[in-house]
Amino acid sequence: MPYKKSIIICLLFLFSGYGFSQETKVVHDLGLWTEIKIEKKIIKNLWASTSQHLRLNRNISGFDDFISEIGLLYEINKHFSIGTNGRYTRNKKYDGLIENDYRYDFDFRYKTELNEKLKFYYRFRYQKEFYGSGVFYKGVNYYESAIRNRIKFRWKYSNTHRFYSTAEIFRLTKKSRDPFFDKYRIFFGDDISTHLGEFEVAFGAEHQLNSNNPYTYFILKIEYTLQL
């Protein structure tokens, strides 16, 4: 009889723990994304960039990510360009675990003028990210890859303000799962040109797909870009 009681107690503990973990998953949050970026033309049609990002979560009260990134962008002509980026992320998860993550990506970009004020942009991106330093330790070797498609419309209101909207969808591939649509992301913002550089202020949302308990992440974004 004591043996049976012990089994029942263990089962109750497991089920209660499972329920607790489900309840504590963050399904709504507000974050702040900031970025400082420097761009410089190396040779004709080839640009190099470096940027630093700081991202906050928990309703803009907690540290989320610190990101360092470098990139190259080559303009094939006035419509098409290609690029590549490398990124290091110090990522603090909601449970307090800190990871050192590494990512590279490749871009294909297209842009065109729809009229004298409205422009259309498209970006195809392939990215691969290694989590927990898996790129260096083969025993860990945990990574995910994603294909991202983004469209953008930008309307020139004046020489200073250019309002825009973007929509992007992520198709994710994991080692233990077939490719699936993971999330979508939308932004509405303003590209502000000044004699000190370009500022970008935007508000958006990211929503998880193909999940029984999806999250929605609201994002306030502030970026500064300086061209040398």
Over residues 13-63, the pLDDT tens digits come to 444 443 333 445 678 999 999 999 999 999 999 999 999 999 999 999 999
pLDDT of residue 140 exceeding 60, the answer is no
pLDDT band (50, 70, 90) for residue 141 = low
CATH number of 28-227: 2.40.160.40
For residues 184, 222, 124 and 28, what is the CA-based torsion angle, rounded to 10 degrees? -10
List all residues 6 or more positions away from 203 whose beta carbon is below 8 Å from its beta carbon.
187, 188, 189, 218, 219, 220, 221
